[in-house]
Amino acid sequence: MNHHFILNEQGQVNKMPDIQIKQIENEYELDHCLFIRKMVFVNEQGVPLADEYDEWDNYHAGIPHIIAYDKEQPVGTARLREVDGIAKLERICIVDTHRKYGIGQKLVRELENIALSHGLTRAKLHGQTQARGFYERLGYIADSEEFMEDGIPHLRMVRELK
């Protein structure tokens, strides 16, 4: 059996969660995605609820949403749209109890793989400025000045996909 451990803030050993990432297959799983986004973007970061959801947050909209589960608990989500022939990674978030486990990287890589499977070779995202280092470690480069989105500073970041 493969055990992964991390140290918590008190220096105690915590077992690494067993995270599963999958593309949603039904409305129930989409509801999990929307709930995570409400927790992170609306409750934690103060994004107005009316600004968080859009026409793509419908199971029948035909865009991939992915979700990360820790056992049965939904802990992270993201979605992918094609905009002008470029993969646009959107709504990437992880609940606060599960940050620092590498889930964000797994979500980004899964979206990139989906994009490649659709023949897309370029990706972009609007990353919160505070997450710039995270996205840079994944190969993204800022190609815009800082701009405000829902009251939060962002940068447009891009990457070639292979």
List pLDDT tens digits, range 88-125.
Answer: 999 999 999 999 899 999 999 999 999 999 999 999 99
Query: What is the pLDDT, as a whole number, of residue 119?
Result: 97
Which amino acid, one-letter code, is at 14? Answer: N
- Strands 122-128 and 86-94, by their bridges, are parallel
**Lowest-pLDDT choice from 12-16, 74-78, 141-145, 148-152:** 12-16
- The percent of residues above 90 in pLDDT, for the chain, comes to 87
Residue 149 has pLDDT above 70, yes or no: yes
Which amino acid, one-letter code, is at 55? Answer: E
Residue 17 has pLDDT above 50, yes or no: yes
Query: What's the rounded mean pLDDT across residues 115-140?
Result: 97
The β-bridge partners of 13 are: 7
Residue 8 has pLDDT above 80, yes or no: no
Predicted model pTM: 0.89
Residue 18 confidence class, pLDDT cut points 50, 70, 90: confident
Q: Which residues contact 104 (CB under 8 A, 6 or more apart)?
A: 76, 92, 94, 134
Which amino acid, one-letter code, is at 127? Answer: G
For all residues of the chain together, what is the average pLDDT? 92
Query: What is the pLDDT, as a whole number, of residue 16?
Result: 74
Query: What's the rounded mean pLDDT across residues 129-142?
Result: 97
Residue 2 confidence class, pLDDT cut points 50, 70, 90: very low
Residue 79 has pLDDT above 70, yes or no: yes
Q: How many CB atoms lie within 10 A of CB 100?
A: 11
